[in-house]
Structure 1
Amino acid sequence: MTELGNRLREAREAKGLSLADVQEITKIQKRYLSGIEEGNYEMMPGKFYIRAFIKQYAEAVGLDHEQLFEEYKSEIPSSYEDEIPQRATKVEKVRTTVPAEPSQFLEYLPKILVTAFVIGAIFLVWFLIPKSDSNDKAVKEEAVVEQPKSPVVDEKETKKETAAPEKEVKKEEPPKPKQTLSAAGASGRKATYQLQNAEKFEVSVLSKGETWVGVTDGSGKSYYGNMLTKGQSQTFDLTGQTSAKIVVGFAPDTEIKINGETLTYQLPAAEQVRQDIIIQVKPAAQ
């Protein structure tokens, strides 16, 4: 251990500091602080850092670093002075590598630039003159060309073509005659009706109480013959038949409809409870 290292260690211990505490204060690794106390400067990262580390160590333990450098200058390597001549020699070597005389290329550079400029000017003049002449000729030729005449349009033909076609007038079909159910006469218990202009022949019978109903067509074919209680109804499609016969057992409780139209009794239902209704179908008017 050197005298400088012993002096620093004693000052550290007098303040009650460990190497770890000095490391925390100075941010210098503990192994470098231990090397300074032992005088082992070879382990330092570089000679330049020796004096800097000693200065920081001295300030941390309350010693004057200038006084230490003066007292123990024989122990501290003078690394800073040794590095200055070495750096200067390196600068001189670098300077000697710069060429003293200019290169031959720099001597001929102005001549090359002038020659290139002259060639470029000649080429530009040669390129512009023929182009302007050809443009003048093209303009003259365009002025001579005659514009084509527009064809004469015949106004009469145009009007014929543009005339809108007349709309075809649709002929209105005459309305179809409405169905009629009319009384044609009554005798005894028999009442006759005529059905005209009907597209179909459909008979519906509804019982409002209790009644017996029988339905036959003009050929005598029976479609129904039975009692109907209150609320019951029967419907028969007789389309194509020329006549039909409906036998009603109790007219006051029987409602008859022909193609949805209610039949009005010619004979009073209260007076003639048993009635034979004859429906004659006449073809629709042409």
Structure 2
Amino acid sequence: MSIGNSPPDDRPSVGHALAQARVAAGLSVEDVSTTTRVRVPIVQSIEEDDFSRCGGEVYARGHIRNIARAVGIDPEPLIEQYAAEHGAPVTPPPVPPLYDAEKIRSDPKRPNWTAAMIAAIVAVIGFVGFTVATSGGDGKSTADATPTSTVTTPSASATTPQGNNGANPRPNPSSSAIAAAPPGKVTVKVSAEGGTSWIQATDSNGKQLFQKSLKEGESKTFTDDKKIKLIVGNAGAVQLFVNGKDIGRAGSNGAVVRLTYTPGDPTQG
């Protein structure tokens, strides 16, 4: 690298031109160094046309450009003059070729015919397998090959007892009450068949066995050695079974009755 060559004409050297411009701008070397971030010794060397401290031609051109802008002159003529004086070719800033920009653009996605063909083949294989499985292997459908089982359901007429015009008679609850009645004791079954009824039951010792409302369809059975006392609300809704015998409704609808039963009943005590 040349330290300082004389210009071929009357033009000032690159360094001298930068120094003149700095003085004309009223700037010191320190001011230029602060603005360009180029160290003071390097600025001084460049003004003396000594570019050996720049670290290479690329850095020298960069320093010349920055200093020229800092002192207010056009850097390009100085870059060209530096290249002519020091044999450094002027390298224009690289312009990306057109095809690079074309590469950036993503090509439109083409149909993936391979994936489409694979999907079609899989679909055909699946359809053929399903057809074979459902045909039983001989071209007949499984519906034709499977024997039909016949379930015989008893008709309503066969299971309906005769009488009452074919209607199902209400089961007689007295039979269950009879089976549940132990000998030598009093057993009272209260069944709320006509609606909700409030029931209180007490044994022979005065112990309260039950005190609650029975909803329609509910029933309750009480047993004692000597006596069962009842208080029945809405008596017309309650059916009574005493010692296994159906004695009918406890009373009229809405009425409250008090009843007592012993082992010798169904006669009311």
TM range (shorter): 0.3 to 0.5
TM-score (norm 1): 0.34
Higher relative contact order (CA 8 A, sep 6+): 1
